[in-house]
Structure 1
């Protein structure tokens, strides 16, 4: 009787969700156990149980403090960042109908970096605008530049990628000019390290900004999941199916800019996550966005947590910028995707 009520499809979905949740919890536990002070996994699980559910399990005060005051906030931020960037990549790939589209390659991350640097070094907007606000304006400006360049090139999908590369170089040059000419030596060191991606400075107050942005962005994208499926057949076909093409594009592009800008403002520029994760998710769950977007959220979160762990253990007694680690995986994946996406002569 219960099997007839639940159905085989729902039973399978519940099983997949349980596996994904278990993998996520294990990744978080692994992340909080790795560091200068190694904490065994059983103790990490007990500390998480104490902090989340007040279980009263035996854990030293130092270990409990290290996990909850420093490492857990870092792991949660990595999960939010990975999920947000993966969703952004899936949205851009659907809207542009190009498997190579993602915030880093299209210059959105570079524009967000320029906007954030303008706030940090030039003081634009001050406390009123804030780092996230400056990054958002920079991301929107980058999208506008890419759209302008792509329109001038005829709007073809492959030309959009070229326009994104050009826009990315433009904003990277602007950022480098501001840092090298106007920043102090201390500011320049901090900004250059931040630009490569870093979770080291993340604390709980940062999550009060990142969490609602990531969750609201995910909900907005899920609401438009069917419209994104329609975009697979082109804008004209989507419009004939009743999709408000212009409105959906504006809403989703703004959402992508907000997600990317928020994460860049907090942890810096991290590339290739929005490129690799959507393709991995499609391989596992198919192209339908009602399944693809949740898969991107979970897989992106786990991938970024594991990448952060690798950044702490690849080089002894040194923490690598997270952008270097993601590039180690993303650059070969980019080459494979580019090879598979090539068109016959």
Structure 2
């Protein structure tokens, strides 16, 4: 087959299986390994052949990885815009047909190799780096997506030793996927260099958290999804205090934000969507309307422009952790469940004591330790 894939418009004739959801445009596996024959064992990279698109293993490979990527918790972001990162330029040139797929991969592997060698970590190990350009079947006019995946050499995915093309696919081993980045090329073309609207850059961490992979591909994020969720609720507290929002209204805002994020667990949520929820909970003429996003960004609350919550991170974001000064106990309470009255957990007017309802199981557990009251008094 032709070993030169020219951009998106002039790509090698793509192939799909009748039942496939995807049409593969191009694929290459590269290798990133330490050169043990040289002092300090620097990383070296080399490229395999452009994949045979009629290879059934290649199509199955894309489908399995796309499914895994879709299910994993992801960071969603935009390119930082730093001139030191060449990935946006490489993608722009590829989409425009100015460079072919092999040149795109070569350029990206140079970045990976360079940043891996700049790392101070001696524990870094190499692996196979797979580049796949594909589209949804039936959406051939769309620019498609670029998926870049770093895999262990030994794992679920087996490659030909000479060509590095996929040979066969064993049952998926989660640990084989170390890190992965997905670029929505259509969104990238429409949005970049702005940082507004749907995110075109998606990143997941598997077994590895090595920074060089993220940095080389422009996937470096300032804060995790979990931190983003927690910081939203912290920002709501201070935003309410600054804008003289009373506690009852603050509680209503917090609950509405909680419910909105809960409805979108595992999906992209933009910071501006949270602002819209807050605005909807405020009186239309309130001075705080339209100001939450700016407040959060300008006051050091690290919140990704686009984040993805898990149920755990959401519940952690609205939970108060209470510990006495002698560390005799620790209690985690949802903020909406505590109050002076009318709540499951009650505090006295001086905020000195908590009154917490006990379940039958809790009562039995405590009774087993301290006995009945009349026994304790005797």
What range describes the TM-score normalised by the shorter chain of this pair? under 0.3
Compute the TM-score of the two structures, normalised by the length of structure 2.
0.23
Relative to total residues, which structure has the larger helix share, 1 or 2?
Answer: 1
Relative to total residues, which structure has the larger strand share, 1 or 2?
Answer: 2
Structure label with greater radius of gyration: 2
Greater RCO (Cα-Cα under 8 Å, separation 6 or more):
1
